[in-house]
Amino acid sequence: MFRNYLKVAFRTLWKNRTHTLINVIGLSVAFGTCILLFLTASFELSYDTFHTDADRIFRLYFLSSNRDGSPDKGATMPYPISPILKAEFPEIEGVTRWFDRSASIRRNNQTYTKDVRMADADFLQMFTFPMTKGNAKTAMKSLSDIVISERTAKDIFGDEDPVGKPLELRMNGNWQTFNVTGVVSESPKNSSFTYDALVRSDNAGDYQEFKDRWDHGNHDVYVKLKPGVDPQALQRRTQAMMDKYFASDIQERQKQGYPKNELGFQRSVLFQPLLTVHFDTETTHGMGISQTYVFTLLLVGLFILAIACINFINLTIAQSLSRAREVGVRKSLGAQRGQLFGQIWGETLLLCFGSLAIGLGIAYAILPIFNKMFKSQLTLDDFLTPTVLLATGLGFLLISLIAGGYPSWFVTRFNAVEVLKGKVKVSRPGLLRNSLIITQFTIACLLIVCTLIVRQQISYLQQKPMGLDKDQVVSIPVGGELNSTDVLKAMRDRLSNQPNIVAVSGTGVNIGYGLDGGSSRMMYGFQYGKRDITCDWLRVDTDYLKTLGVKLLQGRDFSATYSTDSSNAILITQSMAKQLGETNPVGKFIKPDNKQFQIVGVVSDFNLYSLHQEAKPIVMHMQANSPVQYILVRVNPHNLTGAMETIKTVWKSIAPKQEFSGSFLDENTERWYKREQRLATIFSSAAGIAIVLSCMGLFAIALLTIQQRTKEIGVRKVLGASVVSIVGLLSKDFLKLVIAAIVIASPIAWYAMDKWLQDFAYKIDIEWWVFALAGVVAIVIALLTVSFQSVKAALMNPVKSLRSE
């Protein structure tokens, strides 16, 4: 019996091979796309879940209010908060600081650039990073202890046991000796913490100066609660600590008239669950991944799968007239409804299984391209995990049931007597079919609108003036091994006579993301008279304005002829002058962190960071105790390749052991918006797939409809109907459905994109023509799809269609 059913299934699929091919292609593409998107989303959602006690680990962040009442959040913590938490709150099992930094490691005159993170002794006990050598309880007991990762141990020591061996780290401008006390396993790919080595946070260069200061923060703090502790109750208890240690700040905020935060206090410390840190884009300076992005992947995958299932359902129901006769005959011969349902649904299972196999092949084939496009890290092993295999199997059965269950039930419910008498007519379009077509094109129109708006926003961000000239400027990371002052001087001396070089300067903050991936920010808050001032604190060197094309508006630029410029002179931006309330601030003094600086010049505003956030006022200084991290070189635009080669040659002569990682600033700033670029790629790819699949379904439905109306078309032609009128007659019903889809999709797309644009301080206005363009595109594509068959039917000789009458 089963063998017979299998034969009938293959014969039926082959008989309707055009529709079978459409279904197989649609389902295969949908399966392959969904598997990749779902795996990527699943990977993002799995961040930090491998920690044994992840539900008891929290990151701290401050909550206050801006003047307009909006929440002001910040995760940068002061040094003394960690020991106070551990001493005054017995509910806390462990506390650790976390500094996300890099450093150079040296052994036997061989230097390695590694991610040397600073943490506290509790770190290895709080988080599940197993140690392969050493003891997690004692490995970071001393200031001179260093724990290295397995990869670092292999790179530096080879097969030699590293425990007990010395290593030199370049920290705070000097080489310091550390003793290896343990080897820790590599952090998983889905970890918020990455490291090559770990040392105590007390080694930070400013630790002794600020260890008792509550008004200076530069690191994150994580706490692990004891079992059974309510984090909300503990959070309420910490308010007394805030009121005690931040009393002066709270009083000043009250004097300035700042509103209270949503908890009813001037300043509070909140506990953020570890599992949500990866999705925080606000207190991580934009480094996190928005959950909207992750859920968009899932939603797009479901959209594509839904379109493929809609095609299958529509085509199966559209062919129900021919299957109805078969069902009638089999029922008259004694077949039970359950047997018929099983056979027809079995055809669906067969088709879906073949599509799944092809889809898996497609997913595996495009995996390298997908990883590169979406910055994913999927491998073949990710496909073969028990969880993925189980989810794929259950998903396959569910889709087979949804796509094949209703059509099977629909076909098998026909009355055998009526079918055999020819009284059953199912050729006219029904509510279900029209609803499904509208759903398909609603999804397609939604994705088209989203694609257009996302690409508009990206173009706006990239073209919006930043207040500086980022073209033809090369940024070179100095690295921790070299003395930045000496390197900058050497680069200036050797490039000064080169015709391809226009200007050379240095800075503490890169513009955009360079090849080193580094990003940093120093901000100061202080009082100027009765004004509360917040600004970016930027280390620059002479010729910074010339190198970046920033305009000087008042006063003078930094100059080597003024000895005080490297100690207490500063330049400020227009917005900083406005915040100070000074129309002519040159010569005035400010006192951040109780140090006095004199304003010598005012420059035009410029964006130091991405346009996701509004530009802050900037103060530029040349203090020698703050090293230059990047060398900036403006080159001649007429020979960019030659200029870059010149810079590389000079760099190699100055730092032969240091890899050259220079990059152009315009490329760096584009990396600011990689996340948006990936989102645009997702939408445009999904829109393309959705349109193709929708058109394939529409083509098949139009083909079946025209076949069922062949005689009607012949009669109309005999009675004098023109080709245009017949094409219009056959197309108008489908175009009505597409127009309805546009009307439904437009408000949904507007709402979704308006919410997405709220993440940007600088954004476009959503214009009406975007929806009109999406609608025109959808109508033209649908019209072309339907018209192909309509014109073919209208040109057919009516004698052929009416011959049997």
What is the 3-state secondary structure of 590-603?
ECHHHCCEEEEEEE
Between CA 286 and CA 72 the distance in angstroms is 15
Between CA 109 and CA 168 the distance in angstroms is 10
Q: Which residue has the higher pLDDT, 223 or 531?
A: 223
H or E stretch covering 74: strand 71-74
- pLDDT mean over 615-638: 86
Least confident range from 286-290, 384-388, 695-699: namely 286-290
Angle among Cα 37, 38, 43 to the nearest 5 degrees reads 100
**pLDDT of amino acid 430:** 63
Q: Hey, what are 65's tokens?
A: 């209010």
H or E stretch covering 771: helix 768-794
Assess whether 662 and 685 both reside in one domain. no
Assess whether 618 and 709 both reside in one domain. no
Least confident range from 167-176, 212-221, 370-379: namely 370-379
Assess whether 520 and 649 both reside in one domain. yes
Q: Hey, what are 461's tokens?
A: 């961000």
Assess whether 657 and 606 both reside in one domain. yes
Task: Give pLDDT tens digits for 726-779.
Answer: 777 777 878 888 889 899 999 999 998 888 888 777 888 888 898 988 888 888
Between CA 764 and CA 39 the distance in angstroms is 32
The answer to whether position 789 is within a domain reads: yes
Q: What is the pTM of this model?
A: 0.75
- pLDDT mean over 560-565: 84
The answer to whether position 285 is within a domain reads: no
**Whether residue 247 has pLDDT greater than 90:** no
3-state DSSP assignment of residue 536: strand
Last-in-domain residue among 229, 254, 277: 277
The answer to whether position 283 is within a domain reads: no
Read off the amino acid at residue 96.
T
CB 194 within 8 Å of CB 187: yes
How are beta strands 77-78 and 531-539 bridged, if at all? unpaired
Q: Is 421 exposed, middle or buried (0-12, 13-18, 19+ CB in 10 A)?
A: exposed
- pLDDT mean over 343-349: 72
Q: What is the DSSP string of 727-764?
A: HHHHHHHHHHHHHHHHHHHHHHHHHHHHHHHTT-SS-P
C-alpha distances in Å from residue 176, one per residue of 103, 205, 562: 11, 12, 35
Assess whether 438 and 534 both reside in one domain. no
Q: Average pLDDT over the chain, rounded to whole?
A: 82
Domain count, the chain: 3
**pLDDT of amino acid 16:** 65
Between CA 543 and CA 559 the distance in angstroms is 8
Alpha helices (H) along 528-673: 544-548, 574-580, 640-654, 665-671
Provide the residue range defining the domain that includes 197.
54-277
Question: Which range is most confident: 207-211, 289-293, 323-327, 479-483?
Answer: 207-211
- pLDDT mean over 661-689: 81
**Whether residue 237 has pLDDT greater than 80:** yes
Site of tokens 């445009």: 684
Of the candidates 699, 716, 711, the one whose C-alpha atom is nearest the C-alpha of residue 790 is: 699
Assess whether 579 and 726 both reside in one domain. no
Angle among Cα 136, 142, 148 to the nearest 5 degrees reads 50
C-alpha distances in Å from residue 544, one per residue of 487, 503, 547, 548, 553: 16, 9, 5, 6, 15
Task: Give pLDDT tens digits for 451-506.
Answer: 888 888 888 887 888 888 888 899 988 876 677 788 888 888 888 888 888 899 99
CB 587 within 8 Å of CB 598: yes
The answer to whether position 687 is within a domain reads: yes
3-state DSSP assignment of residue 567: coil
Between CA 251 and CA 619 the distance in angstroms is 26
Assess whether 384 and 491 both reside in one domain. no
Read off the amino acid at residue 116.
V
Q: Residue 592 region, left (φ>0) first, then alpha (ψ -120 to 50), else beta? A: beta
Q: Which residue has the higher pLDDT, 420 or 663?
A: 663
The answer to whether position 466 is within a domain reads: no
Site of tokens 């040296």: 106
C-alpha distances in Å from residue 545, one per residue of 503, 532, 549, 559: 10, 27, 6, 11
Q: Residue 100 region, left (φ>0) first, then alpha (ψ -120 to 50), else beta? A: beta
Count of C-beta atoms within a 10 Å radius of residue 160 = 10
CB 445 within 8 Å of CB 745: yes
Last-in-domain residue among 277, 302, 333: 277
Assess whether 666 and 681 both reside in one domain. no
Between CA 540 and CA 260 the distance in angstroms is 37
Assess whether 666 and 690 both reside in one domain. no
Between CA 475 and CA 671 the distance in angstroms is 14
Phi and psi dihedrals of 53, rounded to 5? Answer: -115, 40
**pLDDT of amino acid 108:** 84
The answer to whether position 596 is within a domain reads: yes
Of the candidates 97, 107, 193, the one whose C-alpha atom is nearest the C-alpha of residue 152 is: 107
Task: Give pLDDT tens digits for 389-433.
Answer: 787 788 778 777 776 666 667 666 666 555 555 555 554 446 777
Between CA 702 and CA 786 the distance in angstroms is 6
**Whether residue 694 has pLDDT greater than 70:** yes
Least confident range from 11-20, 109-118, 304-313, 514-523: namely 11-20
3-state secondary structure 146-213: EEEEHHHHHHHHCCCCCCCCEEEEEECCEEEEEEEEEEECCCCCCCCCCCCEEEEHHHCCCHHHHCCC
Q: Residue 228 region, left (φ>0) first, then alpha (ψ -120 to 50), else beta? A: left
Q: Hey, what are 205's tokens?
A: 């260069």
Q: Which residue has the higher pLDDT, 67 or 493?
A: 493
Between CA 333 and CA 421 the distance in angstroms is 16
CB 177 within 8 Å of CB 45: no
Angle among Cα 711, 717, 723 to the nearest 5 degrees reads 115
Assess whether 614 and 649 both reside in one domain. yes
Assess whether 145 and 266 both reside in one domain. yes
Assess whether 128 and 236 both reside in one domain. yes
- pLDDT mean over 11-17: 66
The answer to whether position 282 is within a domain reads: no
Phi and psi dihedrals of 405, rounded to 5? Answer: -65, -55
**pLDDT of amino acid 95:** 95
**Whether residue 567 has pLDDT greater than 90:** no
The answer to whether position 161 is within a domain reads: yes
**Whether residue 373 has pLDDT greater than 80:** no
Last-in-domain residue among 670, 692, 726: 670
**pLDDT of amino acid 427:** 44
Task: Give pLDDT tens digits for 415-427.
Answer: 655 555 555 555 4
Between CA 94 and CA 112 the distance in angstroms is 32
Of the candidates 725, 738, 747, 748, the one whose C-alpha atom is nearest the C-alpha of residue 776 is: 738
Between CA 315 and CA 338 the distance in angstroms is 22
Q: Hey, what are 442's tokens?
A: 């609603």
